[in-house]
Structure 1
Amino acid sequence: MLRTDFSDLDAWEAVRSAVTRPIGIFKAYVEFLSNPEFDSMTSLQLLTLMKAGSDHSFIFVVDRVTLSDSEYPILVLDLSDHPGRSFRVIPEEMWAVENNLSIANMDFADFADSVDADGVFRGFPMQ
């Protein structure tokens, strides 16, 4: 999880706490990268940077939108199938995205196509 906004340390810590909090038996397995070198980087800049040798197919980004919204919607950026495609996910559902994309159990599109009207993934509807 890459931080690109350094305007609010308390909000960053709140996001980190929310992301690492287990949901039942599930949790997101992420590393936190907080380096001012990435401050204010755009999605396009991150795509260019990540293409230069990354074996990741997606990246979580904590940006200004994340830190300024009470739900902390984290940007998920596709680096593989459709580079640049994105959606947001609330921390409570990040485990589902991370766990399933990491083991290729689901595709990026499965989540991107299941967002709410505001572009945020808040979980799949209960049936």
Structure 2
Amino acid sequence: MARTLPEGESLLVRTDFTDDTAWAHVLSEVIASYDEDMMTGLTPVDDVTFDGLTPADLADLVDGQTYVFLADTTTMTDPEHPLLAVDTSDEDVRGDGDRVFRIAPIAMAEVEVNFFLSNMDFEDYAGSVDDDGVFRGFDR
């Protein structure tokens, strides 16, 4: 079966299916990062056909999305559950190490909403990660 991403700009794609409890926890943390009046376009994608998907694989799958969020093995196994943000805006650089950064679930709304509304771009956040490569918010 061929993999096809659903429509939508803000996709959170599960790529590790080893721990359903961890996935439920990640989704809960992500949802909790949003205020109830906050506009979002986030679409969680929980489809086993994306098991093992890597940033490099996105080059053949994106259809207009300029970024994709992945819940990968690190997301599922790291106690902080950092998600992977991948810049898919330029086909020539998809999967490049400089075009990814991690987001703590508590900061997901801040990143996703600003990407969705085009208020800030990928470099604004990628350049503001902590020493361990994880963005935890501007106001912490």
TM-score normalized by the length of structure 2: 0.80
Instruction: Tell me the equivalent position of 1:76.
Output: 85
Following superposition of structure 1 onto structure 2, how do residues 54-69 of structure 1 map, counting pairs within 5 Å? 54-69=63-78
Instruction: Indicate yes or no: 2:23 matched with 1:12.
Output: yes
Give the aligned residue type for 1:36: V
Higher mean alpha-carbon deviation, 85-94 vs 20-29, is at: 20-29
Following superposition of structure 1 onto structure 2, how do residues 35-114 of structure 1 map, counting pairs within 5 Å? 35-50=47-62, 54-81=63-90, 82-84=93-95, 85-114=99-128
CA-based RMSD: 1.8
Q: Is the 8 A contact 1:27 1:95 kept in 2?
A: no
Shift of 1:23: 4.7
Instruction: Tell me the equivalent position of 2:5.
Output: none
Classify 1:67/1:48 alpha carbon distance in 2 versus 1 (closer, same or farther; 3 Å).
Answer: same
TM-score normalized by the length of structure 1: 0.88
Q: Which runs of 5+ in 2 are unaligned?
A: 1-11
Count the aligned residue pairs.
123
SS in 1 for 2:101: strand
Q: Is the 8 A contact 2:87 2:94 kept in 1?
A: yes
What fraction of aligned residue pairs are identical, expressed as a percent? 41
Aligned match of 2:134 in 113, 120, 123? 120
Q: Which runs of 5+ in 1 are unaligned?
A: none
